[in-house]
Amino acid sequence: MGLEEFEQDKRKFPRATFREAVQYRFADHPASSGTVGFDLSEGGVRFRTEEFLPFDAEVVIHLQLKAEREATLLARVVWAQKVPYGDSYHVGCEFLENRENVFPRFVVKNFLELHQT
């Protein structure tokens, strides 16, 4: 089993390409930043940013799910990786399993089911 297969086996939820607007901010800070998503699952999102986000930081993620839906979720940074030869980072955030996220996670799940490629 290669590393890529091992990584896939660890995932709870399948990933889908997601190239829509993402806004994020630290949970304890009102200013937000915007970017474009990279991929999305029921459990989290990956996006690219110029800003380093530290491991385990709590962030509020606002997703533009095509024109018809939006979802705002509390998440935590589970990994950040510098993009080679650039000044940006790929960041992976896991949606928290809390009461406030129940409906937004359902919206994300529904979006993914309707837009699978």
Read off the pLDDT band of 3 (50, 70, 90): very low
- Give the per-residue pLDDT at 12: 79
pLDDT in tens, 51-73: 999 999 999 999 998 767 899 99
Query: Kind of pairing, strands 21-26 and 69-82?
Result: unpaired
Confidence check: pLDDT of 108 > 50: yes
Read off the pLDDT band of 19 (50, 70, 90): very high
Cα distance between residue 3 and residue 71, in whole Å: 32
User: Among residues of the chain, what percentage have pLDDT more than 90?
Assistant: 68
Burial of 101 (0-12, 13-18, 19+ CB in 10 A): middle
Top-level class of domain 14-114:
mainly beta
- Give the per-residue pLDDT at 11: 65
Domain ranges of the chain: 14-114
Query: Kind of pairing, strands 16-17 and 33-40?
Result: antiparallel
Tracing tokens 């660890």 back to the chain, one arrives at: 10
Query: Can you say how many angstroms the Cα of residue 13 is from the centroid of all Cα atoms in its chain?
Result: 12
